[in-house]
């Protein structure tokens, strides 16, 4: 069965600090997709990144970077030089490839507070 664990319920940092959000997943499939979403106070989930199971290259996008390690079933997310606008709930999600439709499984989320 699919499962996504985000062990950090809440994290508080001071602006300009680096912060890493952890994500551990479970799946029996060899083909799957991992995602990170941001949910600001307004409520809309904002897509950040997608990674497929065959691509273990780390990715950097501005202040955001992602570290995918299949050996430890982890897909961690780092924000460098955090800003107050980064304050939100961040969700890691897993989708397994299916012939008929997809079933996203979200983790419980990590609430990040960036203090000025």
Partner 1 sequence: DAGVTQSPTHLIKTRGQQVTLRCSPKSGHDTVSWYQQALGQGPQFIFQYYEEEERQRGNFPDRFSGHQFPNYSSELNVNALLLGDSALYLCASSLGSLGVQPQHFGDGTRLSIL
Residue from 7, 20, 26, 50 binding partner 1 (CB under 8 A): 50
Residue from 47, 56, 59, 81 binding partner 1 (CB under 8 A): 47
Q: Does 96 bind partner 1 (CB under 8 A)?
A: yes
CB closer to partner 1, 79 vs 89: 89
The secondary structure of residue 58, as a DSSP letter, is -
Q: Does 91 bind partner 1 (CB under 8 A)?
A: yes
The structure tokens 């979403």 sit at 37
- Report the C-alpha gap between 101 and 25 in whole angstroms: 20
Contacts of 115 (CB under 8 A, 6+ apart): 12, 13, 14, 15, 84
CB atoms within 10 A of CB 54: 9
Q: Does 37 bind partner 1 (CB under 8 A)?
A: yes
Q: Which residues bind partner 1 (CB under 8 A)?
A: 4, 32-33, 35, 37, 42-47, 50, 52, 91, 95-109
């Amino acid at each position: 069965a699919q499962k996504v664990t985000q062990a950090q319920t809440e994290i508080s940092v001071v602006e300009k600090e680096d912060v890493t959000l952890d994500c551990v997943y479970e799946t029996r499939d060899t083909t799957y997709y991992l995602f990170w979403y941001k949910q600001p106070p307004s409520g809309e989930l904002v897509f950040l990144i997608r990674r497929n199971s065959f691509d273990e290259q780390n990715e950097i996008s501005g202040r955001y970077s992602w570290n995918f390690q299949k050996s430890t079933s982890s897909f961690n997310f780092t924000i460098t030089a955090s800003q107050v606008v980064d304050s939100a709930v961040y969700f890691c999600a897993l989708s397994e490839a299916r012939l008929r439709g997809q079933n996203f499984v979200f983790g419980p989320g990590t609430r990040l507070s960036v203090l000025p």
